[in-house]
Amino acid sequence: MKNWIGFPHREGEHSRQAHVDLPEGTYEREMGKEGFFGPASHLYHKNIPTGWSSFEGPLQPHAFDTNLLHDFGSSPWDAKMMISNAHMKFRVWKTSGKMDHLVRNADGDDLLFVHNGGGELFCDFGHLTFEAGDYIVLPRGTMWRIEASEPCEIVMVEATNSSYQLPEKGMVGPHAIFDPAVLDVPAIDAAFEAQQGNDEWRVVVKARDQFSTITYPFNPLDAAGWKGDLAVVRVNVRDIRPLMSHRYHLPPSAHTTFVAGRFVVCTFAPRPIESDPGALKVPFYHSNDDYDEIIFYHRGDFFSRDNIDQGMVTFHPYGFTHGPHPKAFKAGEKAARKETDEYAMMIDTRDPVEMSEDAYSVENKDYVNSWKSHD
Binding residues for Fe cation: 286, 292, 322
Contact at 8 Å (CB) between 358 and 69? Answer: yes
The secondary structure element, H or E, covering residue 30 is: strand 27-32
- Residues annotated within the binding site for homogentisate are 322
Three-state SS at 372? coil
Q: How far is CA 365 from CA 312, 360, 368, 374, in A?
A: 13, 9, 7, 20
What CA–CA distance (Å, rounded) separates 249 from 121?
Answer: 38
- Residues annotated within the binding site are 286, 292, 322
Amino acid identity of 78? D
For the stretch 302-331, what's the b/e string if a residue is b when 16 or more beta carbons lie within 10 angstroms of its beta carbon?
A: bbbbeebebbbbbbbbbebbbbbbbbbbeb
The residues that are catalytic are 249
What CA–CA distance (Å, rounded) separates 237 from 267?
Answer: 8
Contact at 8 Å (CB) between 134 and 119? Answer: no
